[in-house]
Amino acid sequence: MFLNWQYEKIKCKVCTKDKRVDHKDNIFIPLLDVNREDYSLKTEVAYCLNENNISEDNLVFRKSTVDKLVIARSDVTKLSAAQLLKKDVKIVGDVLVPSFPIPVKEFLNKPGALLAVSEALNNRGCAIALLLGMRLTPSLVRDAAVYSTSLTEKAGKLAKYIQDSNNPTFGLTPEVFDGSDNCEYYNQTNLGLTRKQYIPVLTNFLQNYK
C-alpha cells in the first residue's frame, strides 16, 4: 500500500511552472500492513521494494503508526477536566455523553471534575451527564457514571435503565463513589460495548420517560 500526494496540492504551481518537472512532484511513502517483526517473512514485498531502491529504513509499518496514534490519543495527562469534557462529546436530548480515553474513575479524580461537569451541563443546556470511559493498556477497561447536579429522579431512573438493559447488556456493576452523592458509578464488564451502543438505549429511555 502506498500513500501518494503531490506538491501541487500544497504549493503554488504558477510561480514555478517554468522550472518544474511534473513527475518529480510525486511523493510515495510505502505503508505496510505488516508487523515490523514479520517484514523479513514477506520476501516478495522486500524484493519489489529493493528493486525500486526503497530501503527498510524508509518504510512505515501500519501497526507501529496506529499504536503511536492510539498512545497519543490516550495521553490526556495535560488536559483539565473541563478540556476532557470537550474532547469527544455528544448530546442526546438533555443528556451530555462525553467519552474519555481514560477510565471515568480517573477522570472523577481530576481536580474540580464534578464542578466541570456541572458547568458543562449548564453551558450545554443539559440536565444529566452520562460519562463513559475506557483504558486500552495494559488491559481493556470500561466504566460509566450517571451524574446530575442534584441527582434528579430522571437521572436515577436513567441509571437504573441502563443498568437493567438487556438489549444490549452492558454488564454494569455499581461501585461506591465517595466524591459525590449525585454520581452513580459503574464498572462495565461487557467490554465490547461502546458509546455507539449506549446511544440507542439512551434515546429509547428519553422517548419513554414520564
CATH code, domain with 127: 3.10.310.20
> What is residue 146's predicted lDDT score, i.e. its pLDDT?
97
Lowest model confidence (mean pLDDT) among 14-18, 136-140, 187-191, 198-202: 14-18
The residue whose grid cell reads 469527544 is: 88
Q: Are residues 200 and 99 in the same domain?
A: yes
Q: Are residues 170 and 187 in the same domain?
A: yes
Of 48, 73, 98, which marks where a domain is finished? 73
pLDDT band at 3 (very low <50, low <70, confident <90, very high): very low
- Contact between 120 and 94 under an 8 Å Cβ cutoff? The reply is no
The domain total for the chain is 2
Q: Are residues 57 and 99 in the same domain?
A: no
Of 10, 43, 73, which marks where a domain is finished? 73
> What is residue 152's predicted lDDT score, i.e. its pLDDT?
82
Q: Are residues 57 and 113 in the same domain?
A: no
Q: Checking phi first, is residue 151 left (phi over 0); if not, alpha (psi -120 to 50) or beta?
A: left
Residue 200, C-alpha cell as written in the block: 440507542
Round to whole Å and give the CA distance between 77 and 69: 15
Residue 194, C-alpha cell as written in the block: 461502546
* Residue 33 or 116, more confident: 116
Q: Are residues 69 and 161 in the same domain?
A: no
Round to whole Å and give the CA distance between 103 and 187: 9
What residues make up the domain containing 103?
Answer: 79-208
Q: Are residues 87 and 7 in the same domain?
A: no
Lowest model confidence (mean pLDDT) among 64-73, 106-115, 174-183: 64-73
Q: Are residues 64 and 128 in the same domain?
A: no
pTM of the model: 0.69
- What would the mean pLDDT of 58-73 be, rounded to a whole number? 61
- What would the mean pLDDT of 114-133 be, rounded to a whole number? 96
Average pLDDT, the chain: 81
pLDDT band at 5 (very low <50, low <70, confident <90, very high): very low
Lowest model confidence (mean pLDDT) among 5-9, 87-91, 102-106: 5-9
Round to whole Å and give the CA distance between 180 and 117: 12
Integer CA distances (angstroms), 52 to 40, 46, 48, 96, 124, in order: 17, 10, 7, 53, 55
What distance lies between CA 58 and its chain's CA centroid? Answer: 29
Handedness of CA 120, 125, 131, 133 (dihedral sign): negative
Q: Are residues 63 and 124 in the same domain?
A: no
Integer CA distances (angstroms), 39 to 47, 102, 142, in order: 11, 33, 34
> What is residue 70's predicted lDDT score, i.e. its pLDDT?
58
Of 73, 97, 120, which marks where a domain is finished? 73
